[in-house]
């Protein structure tokens, strides 16, 4: 049997093989995987372009506005996302080839292959706020590595690094952690460039200003969601940090962590470069560990720092060691691929014995459900849903906006920005629900209510028909609760506008309160 070839040429060929294979796999998944609730929710942002939205900064809405103008086919809406990790892998290889000595070029190619083989790289096909966050964070880090290596001041690269952090910030607030890591590295180890954080902040400032201006005039909606509403009920505990540690080990893979942790040295790599990459991935990971003492850290929160970890690990590992990590990563990917295929294409009967059967049917058969909901719908009636996920899914296939009826939760409160329930006064509504409805919950808001059952693939879904919607009782109970729970902006934030509170006359959360 021919022994493995760890030469530069062989490593390059393997990288391009993995690159092509994972890109093709992502295209297949993007074309065949059903649209998810979060994707459908952000799609509505693209249908109605604005300079800001409810939960997060607006970048994904702007992206989807462009893609919506081309086509609403899933492969088009996901096209940019499909390319993100492939582009990041190219940047990873390029950065390592600039850092590593020429004789270690094979490690650069092999590290790129390892990154592409990670399940969370080739499964990254769904268009969400993470799409452009990961791309802009990676480009910013690439510019920062270039700036750090410059023998002169590197001001141009620092400016670009700051500008792309600003664009990442307009995608999701986690970008702040990368900017903080830059500042920690410079003030801790590159004090001769103390001015660089100020330059990067100035480059990011236009993007920050857009977001601050929108929030100040729209009830600080992003801040209320990310800082206050979603964190209510958080408390110190040991379970979430332990879960976080396990998640990080799973995300970075135990073998790559072990190999990099026990490697004796980074041959031919300047100590300043090692420190820079270590700080860029380790500082955010440790900060997340502190946050995990009070709340659960989502796996997707950490994704933007995975390429930096892989780059850092490659400084210490030769092509042979990285090839062993690649083999383990490919084995790890296999069950993930089976799960993705089962969700997207397996017969729904496969899911029947599980508790996920009803959600699998809803995910795969939403068009059928929408058709059933539209059948015999009262003239002039509006379709609604009890929570944002089904509302978004129904809206995507209904090709009309579907509001949430009721208080909902702290997630996805775009209705508060654009829906006026006063417009439905006296009209008929059809309200979708996963669960059997209690008509007594709806009776105060309608002249008459009734319900019906819609069965699809053995799963029962429900709809409430309300005739003669009564806006005033709804305003005095449901909308008042929403104002109290989600729109009580702290007095220290300058409130220049709050569409929800002004629309319904809630003085306590309006400007001039």
Q: DSSP character for 404?
A: B
Averaged pLDDT for residues 457-483: 97
Averaged pLDDT for residues 464-485: 97
* Residue whose tokens read 């492969």: 75
Which helix (H) or strand (E) covers residue 463, if one does?
strand 459-467
What pLDDT does residue 379 have? 83
pLDDT in tens, 272-326: 899 999 999 999 999 999 999 888 888 889 999 999 999 999 999 999 999 999 9
pLDDT in tens, 35-52: 999 999 999 999 999 999
Distance (Å, whole) CA 119 – CA 78: 17
Q: For residue 114, report the phi and psi dihedrals to the nearest 5 degrees.
A: -60, -45
Q: For residue 432, report the phi and psi dihedrals to the nearest 5 degrees.
A: -80, 145
What pLDDT does residue 232 have? 60
Averaged pLDDT for residues 407-417: 90
Q: For residue 419, report the phi and psi dihedrals to the nearest 5 degrees.
A: -95, 135
pLDDT-based confidence at 91, cuts 50/70/90? Answer: very high
Distance (Å, whole) CA 428 – CA 267: 72
- Report helix, strand or coil for 451: strand
Given a cut of 60, is residue 1 above it in pLDDT? no
HEC-encoded secondary structure of 286-328: HHHHHHCCCCCCCHHHHHHHHHHHHHHHHHHCCHHHHHHHHHH
User: Residue 129: which of 181, 197, 56 has the closest Cα?
Assistant: 56
What pLDDT does residue 170 have? 97
488: left (phi over 0), alpha (psi -120 to 50) or beta: beta
Domain boundaries, the chain: 8-344, 361-509
Q: What is the dihedral of CA 282, 283, 285, 286, to 10 degrees?
A: 110
What pLDDT does residue 2 have? 61
pLDDT-based confidence at 513, cuts 50/70/90? Answer: low
* Residue whose tokens read 């969370």: 120
Q: For residue 211, report the phi and psi dihedrals to the nearest 5 degrees.
A: -70, -40
Write the CB contacts of 353 (distance below 8 Å, at least 6 apart in sequence). none
pLDDT-based confidence at 340, cuts 50/70/90? Answer: very high
- Report helix, strand or coil for 220: coil
Given a cut of 90, is residue 390 above it in pLDDT? yes
pLDDT in tens, 249-270: 999 999 999 999 887 777 788 8
pLDDT-based confidence at 156, cuts 50/70/90? Answer: very high
Kindly state the tokens that stand for 284: 């955010």
Given a cut of 60, is residue 56 above it in pLDDT? yes
What pLDDT does residue 234 have? 55
Sign of CA dihedral 167, 171, 174, 176: positive
Pairing of the two strands 448-456 and 429-433: unpaired
What pLDDT does residue 375 have? 92
Averaged pLDDT for residues 438-460: 96
Given a cut of 70, is residue 228 above it in pLDDT? yes
What pLDDT does residue 420 have? 97
Averaged pLDDT for residues 334-342: 95
Helix axes of 79-99 and 130-149: crossing angle, nearest 10 degrees: 20
Distance (Å, whole) CA 66 – CA 98: 35
Q: DSSP character for 444?
A: G
User: Residue 34: which of 429, 457, 506, 396 has the closest Cα?
Assistant: 396
Distance (Å, whole) CA 427 – CA 410: 27
Burial of residue 337 (CB within 10 Å: 0-12, 13-18, 19+) is: middle
Distance (Å, whole) CA 379 – CA 366: 22
């Amino acid at each position: 049997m021919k022994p493995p070839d760890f030469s530069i040429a062989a490593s390059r060929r393997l990288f391009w093989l993995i690159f092509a294979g994972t890109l093709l796999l992502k295209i297949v998944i993007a074309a065949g995987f059903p649209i998810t609730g979060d994707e459908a929710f952000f799609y509505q942002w693209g249908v109605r372009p604005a300079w800001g939205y409810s939960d997060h900064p607006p970048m994904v809405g702007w992206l989807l506005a462009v893609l919506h103008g081309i086509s609403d086919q899933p492969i088009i809406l996901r096209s940019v996302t499909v390319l993100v990790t492939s582009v990041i892998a190219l940047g990873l290889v390029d950065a390592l080839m600039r850092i590593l000595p020429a004789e270690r070029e094979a490690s650069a190619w092999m590290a790129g292959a390892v990154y592409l083989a990670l399940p969370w790289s080739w499964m990254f096909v769904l268009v969400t706020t993470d799409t452009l966050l990961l791309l802009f964070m990676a480009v910013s880090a690439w510019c920062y590595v270039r700036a750090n290596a410059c023998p002169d001041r590197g001001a141009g690269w620092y400016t670009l690094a700051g500008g792309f952090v600003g664009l990442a910030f307009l995608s999701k607030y986690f970008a702040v952690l990368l900017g903080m890591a830059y500042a920690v590295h410079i003030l801790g180890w590159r004090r001769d460039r103390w001015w660089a954080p100020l330059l990067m902040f100035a480059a990011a400032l236009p993007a920050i200003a857009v977001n601050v201006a929108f929030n100040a005039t729209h009830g600080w909606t992003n801040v209320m969601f990310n800082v206050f509403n979603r964190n209510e009920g958080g408390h110190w505990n040991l379970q979430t940090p332990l879960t976080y540690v396990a998640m990080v080990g799973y995300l970075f893979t135990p073998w790559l962590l072990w190999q990099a942790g026990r490697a004796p040295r980074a041959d031919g790599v300047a100590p300043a470069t090692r420190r820079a990459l270590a700080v860029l991935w380790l500082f955010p990971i440790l900060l997340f560990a502190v946050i995990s003492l009070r709340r659960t850290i989502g796996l997707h929160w950490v994704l933007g720092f995975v390429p930096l970890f892989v780059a850092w690990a490659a400084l210490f590992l030769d092509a042979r060691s990285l090839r062993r990590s690649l083999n383990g990563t490919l084995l790890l990917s296999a069950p993930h691929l089976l799960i993705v295929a089962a969700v997207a294409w397996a017969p729904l009967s496969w899911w029947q014995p599980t508790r996920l059967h009803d959600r699998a049917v809803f995910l795969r058969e939403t068009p059928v459900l929408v058709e059933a909901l539209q059948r015999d719908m009262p003239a002039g009636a509006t379709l609604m849903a009890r929570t944002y996920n089904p509302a978004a899914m129904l809206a995507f296939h209904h090709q009309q906006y579907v509001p949430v009826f009721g208080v909902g939760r702290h997630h996805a409160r775009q209705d508060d920005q654009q829906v006026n329930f006063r417009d439905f006064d006296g009209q008929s509504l059809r309200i979708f629900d996963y669960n059997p409805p209690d008509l007594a919950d709806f009776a105060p808001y309608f002249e008459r209510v009734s319900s019906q059952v819609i069965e699809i693939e053995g799963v029962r879904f429900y709809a409430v028909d309300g005739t003669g919607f009564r806006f005033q009782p709804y305003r005095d109970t449901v909308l008042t609760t929403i104002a109290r729970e989600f729109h009580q902006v702290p007095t220290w934030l300058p409130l220049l506008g709050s569409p929800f509170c002004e629309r319904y006359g809630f003085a306590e959360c309006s400007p001039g309160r």
